[in-house]
Amino acid sequence: MSNETVWDRPEPPSKPSPTPLNRDLIVGAAIRLADGGGLDEVSFRKVAAALGAGPMRLYGYVETKDELLDLMVDEVYGEITLPEPGADWREALTRIAHGMRAAAKRHPWFVDLLGGRPHRGPNSLTHIEATLATLDGRQEFPTIDDVLGAVSTVMAFVHGAVRNEVAEAREEQASGLTEEQWQAASGPYMRRMLATGRFPRLARVMFDAEHTNAAAWFDTGLTYVLNGIATRHNPAWTPGGSASAPSAPSTAPAGP
Amino acid sequence: MSNETVWDRPEPPSKPSPTPLNRDLIVGAAIRLADGGGLDEVSFRKVAAALGAGPMRLYGYVETKDELLDLMVDEVYGEITLPEPGADWREALTRIAHGMRAAAKRHPWFVDLLGGRPHRGPNSLTHIEATLATLDGRQEFPTIDDVLGAVSTVMAFVHGAVRNEVAEAREEQASGLTEEQWQAASGPYMRRMLATGRFPRLARVMFDAEHTNAAAWFDTGLTYVLNGIATRHNPAWTPGGSASAPSAPSTAPAGP
DNA sequence: TCCAACTGCGATACAGTGTATTGAACGATA
DNA sequence: TATCGTTCAATACACTGTATCGCAGTTGGA
C-alpha cells in the first residue's frame, strides 16, 4: 500500500461513485435550470452536468426530451393546490385560476409548454378532475357537457391570459428594467407607428390606460368569464343575430 | 466563340443568376414550409434551399430567426379579414374570433408563436386596433380601460381555446388517423389511469361527452365570454365573497 | 475460484441548428 | 485600369438531441 490515507486519496478513478439518479432528480434539476434561464437552458447536457453526470445517462430514466418537458409540466401542475369541492363554484374556479397564474409566475417557462400538447400526466389529470369537480353535480350544470363547456372556457381564458401576461413581463425585463429603457429599445418604432395616426385606440391604450396592476386585469377578465358562464341560460343574451354562435350544447342530449 | 448556343449553354458559373430575394419571398417560403411540416421545418438552411440560395443569404433581409418568426406571425395576422365597425359589437368580435380560429387552422404553427412574445408588426397592430374599435365609443364601454379589459379577455380566451384545439388536433393526427389507433397508442395508459377511479368526471368526459364538433365548443365558450362582458356592470354578479376578484377597473379614474 | 454474461455508464459520433467570419467575384467609380 | 464597396457562398464554431460502441464492475453459474 502507498502512504496515502483515506483522507487525501482521490476518488477511485475506476468508479467515481456516480450519484444515484432518478426521474425526480432529473426533473428537479431541469426545472431549476428553466427557472433560472428559461427553456433554452434545458438541454440534456446541461441537466446532466447539473447532476454530475454525462448526457447519455439521462436516457436511462427519460426516453426523450419531450418526455422530460412533459414531466416538468406535470410537476408544476402538482405544485398547484386544489380547492376541495365546496359550496361556491365561482370561488373554487377562481382559486384554481389563481393557482395557475401563480405557478406561471414562479415558472415563466410553464406557459411556453402550456397547451403545446395535451397534458396527460397524473398531476395534470388530477388538476382537470378537480376543475371539473367544481361544477359537477350542480343543478346549473346538469350534463357533463355543461361542465366541460364551462371548464374549457375558463381554462382557455386562463391559459391565454397567463401566457400573454408572462410574455409581456418577459419582454419588459428583457429590454432592461425600466420603462425608459423600453422606450429606447422598441420605442422609436412604436412611436413612429402610433404617429401615423392609424392606431388611435392603441395610442390611447399606451398613453391613457392604467398599466399598473396585472393581477387586477386578470381578475377582471376572469370575472367576465365566470359571469358569462353563470348567465348562460339567460335567453336574453344569446346572440341576437341568427348567424354566428349556436346555443350552448347544454341542452343537447348526450345519449344514455 | 464555341458552337454552344444560348439554349444549351449552362448558367454562367461565375454568377449563377441568383434569384432576387426580398423579405416577402423569404417569409412566404418559410410559411409554406411551416404549413407543410410544422415549425421544425423552418430553418435558415431549408428556407434558403427552397429559394435556391445559401443560408447566409437570408441575413441580408432578416436579422435573426426570431425576426423571421415574427414576420411569419404578422403575415398571418394580415390574412385575417377584419370587420368594419358596425352596430353589433358582439358580432364584430365574433367575426374576429372566427378569423383567428380559421387562421390557426390554416397555419397550425401559428398558435405555437401566438403569445410567445408580444406582436408588434403592422398587421398585428392593425388587428388589435380593429378589435379595440369594435367597442370603442360605445356607451357600455366609457373608458379606454373598459375597452381594453373586454378586448383582452376575448383575446385571451381565443388564444387559449385555439391553442388547445390545435394541440388536440395535432396529436390526433400524429398518432394516426383514427380514434382506434389513438386508443392503441395512448389508450392503455389512459385506460389504466381512468380505471383507478380517481378521475370519475374525466372518465365521463371521455366516454359520455360529445367530442364531435370543435367549432361548436369554441362558439359556446365565446358566447360565455361575450355574455360575461355584456353583463359586467350588473352588480348581482360580482363575486359574492369579499376575497377574490376586485370589480372591474372600469370605474377607476384613468387620470386626465 | 474462475469464467461468462449482463448491466450501467462514459465516450464518441452524426446530423442538424443558428450565426460569425472569411474570401471571392462582381459592378460602379476614380 | 485600379480600387472600392457590395453581394453572396463557403467555411467554421458552438451547440443541440440522440444512436452506437466499448469498457468497467457486478453478478450468476460451474
Q: Return the nearest residue to D24, CA–C1'.
A: A14
The C-alpha atoms of residue A148 and residue B211 are separated, in whole angstroms, by 11
Reported as a pLDDT band with limits 50, 70 and 90, residue A183 is: low
Over range B128-141, report the average pLDDT. Answer: 94
Please tell me whether residue A6 adopts helix, strand or coil conformation: coil
SS (H, E, C) chain B: CCCCCCCCCCCCCCCCCCCCCCHHHHHHHHHHHHHHHCHHHCCHHHHHHHCCCCHHHHHHCCCCHHHHHHHHHHHHHHHCCCCCCCCCHHHHHHHHHHHHHHHHHHCCCHHHHCCCCCCCCHHHHHHHHHHHHCCCCCCCCCCHHHHHHHHHHHHHHHHHHHHHHHHHHHHHHHCCCCHHHHHHHCHHHHHHHHHCCCCHHHHHHHHHCCCCCHHHHHHHHHHHHHHHHHCCCCHHHCCCCCCCCCCCHHHCCCCC
Over range A161-186, report the average pLDDT. Answer: 74
**Distance, Å, A58 CA → D17 C1':** 12
What distances in angstroms separate CA A73 from CA A33, A115, B26, B147, one per listed residue?
14, 10, 35, 34
Per the listing, cell 392604467 goes with A210
pLDDT tens-place string over residues B232-252: 765 454 444 333 333 344 333
For residue A201, pLDDT over 90 is answered with: yes
Mean pLDDT taken over chain A: 82
For residue B69, pLDDT over 90 is answered with: yes
Mean pLDDT taken over chain B: 82
B136 interfacial to chain A (CB closer than 8 Å):
yes
**Distance, Å, B213 CA → C1 C1':** 73
Which residue from A167, A198, A248 is facing B115, i.e. has the nearest CB?
Answer: A167
For residue B12, pLDDT over 50 is answered with: no
**B68, B77, B201, B67: which is closest to B128 by C-alpha?**
B77
CB < 7 A from strand D, the residues are: A 12, 14-15, 42-46, 55-56, 59, 64-66; B 18, 20-21, 53-57, 60
What integer pLDDT is reported at residue B179 of this predicted model?
56
Q: Is the Cβ–Cβ distance between B184 and B174 less than 8 Å? A: no
Q: Which nucleotide in the DNA or RNA is closest to residue B13, CA to C1'?
A: C25
Per the listing, cell 426530451 goes with A65
User: Could you tell me what percent of chain A has a pLDDT over 90?
Assistant: 61
| Amino acid occupying residue A67 | E
Residues of B in contact with A147 (CB under 8 A): 201
Over range B187-215, report the average pLDDT. Answer: 85
The C-alpha atoms of residue A154 and residue A221 are separated, in whole angstroms, by 10
Reported as a pLDDT band with limits 50, 70 and 90, residue A153 is: very high
Please, which positions of strand D sit below 7 A from a protein CB? 7-11, 15-20, 24-26
Q: Return the nearest residue to C25, CA–C1'.
A: B14
> Which residue in chain B is spatially nearest to A94 when comparing CA positions?
B244
Angle between helices A122-133 and A144-174 (to 10 degrees): 120
Please tell me whether residue A106 adopts helix, strand or coil conformation: helix
Over range B121-129, report the average pLDDT. Answer: 96
- To which H or E segment does residue A78 belong? helix A65-79
What integer pLDDT is reported at residue A117 of this predicted model?
87
The C-alpha atoms of residue B42 and residue B248 are separated, in whole angstroms, by 42
Reported as a pLDDT band with limits 50, 70 and 90, residue A240 is: very low
Please tell me whether residue A118 adopts helix, strand or coil conformation: coil
Please tell me whether residue A70 adopts helix, strand or coil conformation: helix
For residue A5, pLDDT over 90 is answered with: no
pLDDT tens-place string over residues B77-88: 999 999 987 879
A174 interfacial to chain B (CB closer than 8 Å):
no
What integer pLDDT is reported at residue A54 of this predicted model?
87
Judged by CB atoms closer than 8 Å, whether chains meet at B129 and A201 is answered as: yes
The C-alpha atoms of residue B179 and residue B171 are separated, in whole angstroms, by 11
What integer pLDDT is reported at residue A185 of this predicted model?
60
* Minimal CA separation from B201 to chain A, in Å: 6
End-to-end CA distance of chain B: 81
A182 interfacial to chain B (CB closer than 8 Å):
no
A148 interfacial to chain B (CB closer than 8 Å):
yes
Q: Is the Cβ–Cβ distance between A139 and A155 less than 8 Å? A: no
What integer pLDDT is reported at residue B180 of this predicted model?
57
CATH T-level topology, domain B84-233: Tetracycline Repressor; domain 2 (1.10.357)
pLDDT, greater one: B181 or B19: B19
Q: Is B131 left (phi over 0), alpha (psi -120 to 50) or beta?
A: alpha
> Residues 61 to 100 of B: which have CB under 8 A from any A CB?
88, 90-91, 94-95, 98
What integer pLDDT is reported at residue A12 of this predicted model?
39
Reported as a pLDDT band with limits 50, 70 and 90, residue A219 is: very high
Residues of A in contact with B134 (CB under 8 A): none
**A79, A246, A48, A228: which is closest to A156 by C-alpha?**
A228
Please tell me whether residue A172 adopts helix, strand or coil conformation: helix
What integer pLDDT is reported at residue A233 of this predicted model?
65
What integer pLDDT is reported at residue A244 of this predicted model?
37
**Distance, Å, A76 CA → D13 C1':** 36
B147 interfacial to chain A (CB closer than 8 Å):
yes
Exposure b/e, A23-50, CB count within 10 A at least 16 = b: eebbbbbbbebbeeeebebbebebbbeb
Please, which positions of strand C sit below 7 A from a protein CB? 8-12, 16-21, 25-27
For residue A224, pLDDT over 60 is answered with: yes
What integer pLDDT is reported at residue A170 of this predicted model?
87
Cβ neighbors of B117 (< 8 A, separation 6 or more) are A167, A170, A171, B66, B70
What integer pLDDT is reported at residue A3 of this predicted model?
38
Reported as a pLDDT band with limits 50, 70 and 90, residue B94 is: very high
Judged by CB atoms closer than 8 Å, whether chains meet at B129 and A198 is answered as: yes
**B218, B72, B83: which is closest to B158 by C-alpha?**
B218
Domain segments of chain A as ranges? 17-63, 81-234
CB atoms within 10 A of CB A228: 29
Residues of A in contact with B153 (CB under 8 A): 157, 161, 220-221, 224-225
User: Could you tell me what percent of chain A has a pLDDT over 70?
Assistant: 77
CATH code for the structural domain at A17-63 = 1.10.10.60
A57 interfacial to chain B (CB closer than 8 Å):
no
Q: Is the Cβ–Cβ distance between B130 and A175 less than 8 Å? A: no
**Distance, Å, A46 CA → C7 C1':** 25
> Residues 97 to 116 of A: which have CB under 8 A from any B CB?
98, 111-112, 115-116
What integer pLDDT is reported at residue A208 of this predicted model?
75
DSSP A12: P
What integer pLDDT is reported at residue A17 of this predicted model?
52
CATH architecture of A81-234: Orthogonal Bundle (1.10)
pLDDT tens-place string over residues A53-107: 888 999 999 999 999 999 999 999 999 999 987 879 999 999 999 999 999 999 9
pLDDT, greater one: B160 or A211: B160
**Distance, Å, B28 CA → D8 C1':** 21
What distances in angstroms separate CA B226 from CA A223, B90, B103, B135, B234, one per listed residue?
12, 7, 21, 12, 14
Q: ipTM of this complex > 0.90?
A: no
What integer pLDDT is reported at residue A86 of this predicted model?
81
The C-alpha atoms of residue B5 and residue A23 are separated, in whole angstroms, by 69
DSSP string, A90-103: HHHHHHHHHHHHHH
pLDDT tens-place string over residues B140-172: 999 999 999 999 999 999 999 999 999 988 887
pLDDT, greater one: B202 or A244: B202
pLDDT tens-place string over residues A107-149: 999 999 999 888 999 999 999 999 999 999 898 999 999 999 9
Q: Which nucleotide in the DNA or RNA is closest to residue B63, CA to C1'?
A: C19
What integer pLDDT is reported at residue B188 of this predicted model?
77
pLDDT tens-place string over residues B37-56: 999 999 999 999 999 888 89
For residue B92, pLDDT over 70 is answered with: yes
